[in-house]
A and B are shown apart, each in its own frame.
Chain A
Amino acid sequence: MKRYFSISSLSLTGMVVILVSSCATVQEMPIQDDAADRQLQEEVTTADGTIAGDSDGVYATAMSDETLTAQQLLEQTDTVLANRTVFFEFNSAKLTDKSLAILEAHGNFVAGNGNVSLRLEGHADERGSREYNIALGDRRAQSSRQVLLFQGASIDQIDTVSYGEEQPAMLGHTEEAWAGNRRVEIIYRVN
């Protein structure tokens, strides 16, 4: 727990940066992607006469993350939240720094969006016995859950399950396949 604290206070700062930058990307997208669309919008605002300015700043405020639903945020492909899988070492549930950062981002997101819940699905590679691997997958899901709870997610928002080695993401008996199968998958549900 102590370890989570020190690391998460550091990466909380990081999270702010990430969130801000992700908003910025969203704002920029319609402008760059479709100039005609933007023109249309400008015309509408001008006709209304309520917003005189045509500066990007005014426009950006209108499209702030308040108007982006949790669903839309989750659909973005270029944010930390787009990482829905964290990986583990053999016979271990210890989180790497990278996994920790990903889970903290999800924890913050869930904490800030009460209508969102998620399921952590723990998995193991095929080696060893099957029920032991169920317990190992569970341990991985639990250590991931702890991070989310620490970031402020509520207990009701997080469900865990372990599939052990029963649902491999990669087939084959190679180190690569095993590494790809030792994982926790984050599955969202938006109410």
Chain B
Amino acid sequence: MRIRLKYLFLILLWMSVPVAGFGALIIEITEGVEGALPVAVVPFDTSELSSEIPVDVGEIITNDLNRSGVFKAMDRNALVARPNYSAQVQYSRWRDAGIELLIVGRIFQKAPGEYDIQFQLLDVLKQNQLLGYSLPVKKRKLRSAAHEISDLIYEQITGTRGAFNTRIAYIKSQSEEARKYILQVADTDGFNAQTVLESDEPLMSPSWSPDGQSLAYVSFENKRPEIFIQHLASAKRSKISGFKGINGAPSWSPDGKNLALVLTKDGSADIYIMNIASKRLRRLTRHRSIDTEPVWSARGESIIFTSDRSGAPQLYEIAVKGGKPKRITFEGKYNSAASVSPDGKYIAMVHAERGQYKIAQYERETGNLTVITDSSLDESPSFSPNGKMVLYASTEGNNGVLYAVSIDGRAKHRLSDQSGDIREPVWGPYKRRRKR
């Protein structure tokens, strides 16, 4: 008996160690992940410029690379030298400092308000150039160009396209005297926030059009939930669904032609598909339970949704052409708000265990469910367009804050430049590639 107890204690100890280690690892993420590639980004040379440049391109790249969890950038103050192009580089000094990749660059003035950013990605060990580009850029697009460089570096090293130069949408709420609800779009690092819509009544559930030009969302501006579509550049908006009862959870199909949505006009909450051009509706689910939060599979042939038909919310999948829904999740008593990775291999979701709401990732092939966040009120997971990160909302005090976590849960970062109560983040699609 004594031995057994001892044995049990050992098992418990063994079980608790990796959990604690996992937590500690996440806290250290801003410092970089174990196994992350050591890189150095030298501040880009701006000495040729006639006036001061408003953006620190090198710093943006440094932050992007660190956030990915794939790279660990050397502190700027610790840089062993400050070369600006390959010919100035003494590789041995960087190798001795443990650096494997070096990024150097120069910014030239092309015309007033127009720049040319030249950069090189250098392999310290092989002492050669992996990547070299000259990017023409307008002043207001400087931050975007820096993210573009991060994307190129990320793709060169990992083989996967980077998603730094994309945008996110989210809902922000400010409670001064009267509560205001604001739909905003920002860069993936939280900068360049722009207001899309402001309202005295709740705004919810933003969904990107696959071309990144428009957002669908729910607005309570008429004291009830209705679905609107808004073109971002022109701010032109139209109500697309204003039936009696709930009009909710819009989700744009991958081909951009249809919207999956939730209506209660025929009874309990069910999933419908609306053709955006014709506004024609087709009912997809028919059940007295709650069916909600539809999202499209990667190729658009099925819809994954939340239903409490089993008694508690779980994820189900149904073919877009109709049929019998198939239950996907069985682990835990609360699984909802699915986000499908662009390759279709993973589903991120809100997963509750013992009253703690976390983000979990489900691998479709193996059926493995992995919890990837560690607070108690996490929600609204949304995959990055390259499927490597999951953006989600968490809570700090009475405010919502945004985080992004790598799909394996190892790298996590909080989005900067935030104030107010922020929630429901959705990661936008890739922008069109620049012609090269």
Contact = CB atoms under 8 A, between A and B. Distances in A.
B380 A126 contact: no
A109 interface: no
A153 interface: no
Interface stretch (B100-108, B143-151, B152-160, B244-252): B244-252
B403 interface: no
A164 B292 CA distance: 13
A138 interface: yes
A135 B290 contact: yes
Interface in A116-166: 126-132, 134-136, 138-139, 160-164, 166
Given A129-B306, A129-B313, A131-B262, 7 more contacts: A129-B379, A130-B337, A131-B249, A132-B290, A134-B292, A135-B248, A173-B395
A163 B220 CA distance: 9
Nearest to A168: B398
6 contacts: A130-B379, A134-B249, A135-B292, A138-B264, A166-B204, A173-B395
B204 A130 contact: yes
Contact of A132 (B202, B220, B337): B337
A42 B293 CA distance: 67
A129 B337 contact: yes
B223 interface: yes
Nearest to A129: B337
A160 B225 contact: no
B202 A166 contact: yes
A169 to B, nearest CB: 13
Contacts of A126: 377, 395
A134 B395 CA distance: 19
A128 B336 contact: yes
Interface range on chain B (Cβ under 8 Å from partner): 35 or more
Contacts of B350: 128-129
B53 interface: no
Contacts of A136: 290
Contact of A131 (B224, B245, B337): B337
A131 B202 contact: no
Nearest to B356: A127
A136 B313 CA distance: 11
Contact of B377 (A91, A135, A173): A173
Contacts of A132: 290, 292-293, 306, 308, 313, 336-337
Given A91-B312, A134-B248, A139 B290 contact: yes
B187 interface: no
A171 interface: yes
A172 interface: yes
A161 B292 contact: no
B44 interface: no
Contacts of B337: 129-132
Contacts of B248: 131, 134-135
B168 interface: no
B422 to A, nearest CB: 13
A61 interface: no
B259 to A, nearest CB: 14
Contacts of B225: 134, 161-162
A159 to B, nearest CB: 9
B156 to A, nearest CB: 37
Contact of B313 (A128, A171, A173): A128
A167 B223 CA distance: 12
A131 B293 contact: yes
B268 interface: yes
A125 to B, nearest CB: 10
A129 B380 contact: yes
Interface in B335-352: 336-337, 350, 352
B334 interface: yes
B224 to A, nearest CB: 5
Nearest to B247: A134
Contact of A135 (B269, B334, B352, B357): B269
Contacts of A160: 245
Given A139-B268, A161-B224, A166-B204, A129 B336 contact: yes
B205 interface: yes
Contacts of A166: 202, 204, 220
A107 to B, nearest CB: 20
A131 B205 CA distance: 8
Contacts of B424: 130
A93 B355 CA distance: 19
Contacts of B205: 130-131
Contacts of A128: 313, 334, 336, 350, 352, 357, 379
B268 A161 contact: no
Interface string A160-189: 111110110001110000000000000000
A171 B350 CA distance: 21
Contacts of B293: 129, 131-132
A131 B292 contact: yes
A128 B352 CA distance: 8
A167 B202 CA distance: 8
A106 to B, nearest CB: 20
A166 B308 CA distance: 21
Interface in A69-117: 91
Contacts of B398: 171-172
User: Nearest 5 A-B pairs (CB), nearest first?
Assistant: A129-B337, A166-B202, A135-B290, A135-B269, A131-B249
